[in-house]
Amino acid sequence: MVSLHVDLSLPLRAFDLELRLEVGHETVALVGPSGAGKTSLLRAVAGLARPRAGSIVCADDVWFDAARKINRAPEQRSVGYVFQEYALFPHLTVERNVAFGTRQPNGLLRRLQIEHLARARPAELSGGERQRVALARALARAPRVLLLDEPMAALDPHTRASVRAELHDLVRELALPTLLVTHDFEDAAALATRIGVLVDGRLRQVGSPADLLGSPADPFVARLAGANVLPGVATPAPNGLSLVLLDAGPTVYAADIVSGRTEVVVYPWDVSLAREAPDDSALNHLRDEIVSVTALGNRARVRLRNLTAEVTTASAERLRLVPGEHVVASFKATQVRLLTSVP
């Protein structure tokens, strides 16, 4: 089985990128803030950046080994690289862009459903079509490893979902070790088997999308996954619960047992809204002001002063949610996670 082994230290401007990662026949997404070192990792694997120490090995093929003074040139590494913004040659047709990696591009054009665009130039293509051309060019080298740098970033919201689905099917079919860089957790969760959260050159957590949602390692990972994160102070409470006095003023109960400074984590889809607090002692209730209401297909994202809820459009219409008015946000103690703050 072909796998990619990365164990490196790469000096960057503000810190060193230091990580160890193994990628099998799967897609691993790297998410994190700008400047965290995500693209630098792709560049190191592709041979476009030289680590200070460590090794990069694909199966039994050593691409880089600092101790043994091995550093294969980019053209000697079996890598297909889809750059951010795709980096197509504007003066070449689709066919000639793809043929830059091989002399017989027609099979790839057919496979990616762009055969009819063979004589078009990049300026004539939509964002999704340009992405397919870039993928075809990357695959033309018959790579053993696929690198995708922000493959969805250049797409408009209308195109994004359909192209994401196509890319998901393609990477599953290829079954190559694939490293994908993105800022968007939703893209990562849809495309990747595992997600690595990279911050300041270090991996905070690596796991399945379900792992990161259900058991985030720290508040940063929780925020990245879309959670509300509310700081406060926890004290023991009856019935095996913790009572958290939020910095914003209200109190909430959590099923986790914690004492001292903490961060309350609750996901928007676990928060329900009502005009008045439901008569249910098992729920936490927070009265708050509506800041904005955004439609997302059959859902509505409702941002309050202190947290965000995600409800069905039917619920939003029934409640007649209007910015400036107040509602009661409710969620169960069992839906709350308490995490310790990290720098």
Q: Structure pTM?
A: 0.88
Instruction: For domain 4-78+143-221, give the CATH number.
Output: 3.40.50.300
Q: Which tens digit of pLDDT belongs to each residue from 123-158? A: 888 888 888 888 888 888 889 999 999 888 777 777
Asked if the 227-339 domain carries CATH number 2.60.40.1250, the reply is: no
User: 201 to each of 11, 33, 172, how far by Cα in Å?
Assistant: 9, 11, 28
Q: Which tens digit of pLDDT belongs to each residue from 285-341? A: 999 999 999 988 889 999 999 999 999 999 999 999 999 999 999 999 999 999 987
Please state, for a pLDDT cut of 70, what percent of the chain lies above it. 97
Quote the mean pLDDT of the chain: 91
Residue from 244, 268, 261 nearest 333 by CA: 244
Compute and round to an integer the Cα radius of gyration of the chain.
24
Residue 101 confidence (pLDDT): 58
- Domain 4-78+143-221 and domain 227-339, same fold? Reply is no
Q: Is 70 exceeded by the pLDDT of residue 206?
A: yes
- Per domain, the residue ranges of the chain are 4-78+143-221, 227-339
Contact residues for 95 (Cβ-Cβ < 8 A; gap 6+)? 105, 106, 109, 118, 119
Where is average pLDDT lowest: 7-16, 77-86, 229-238? 77-86
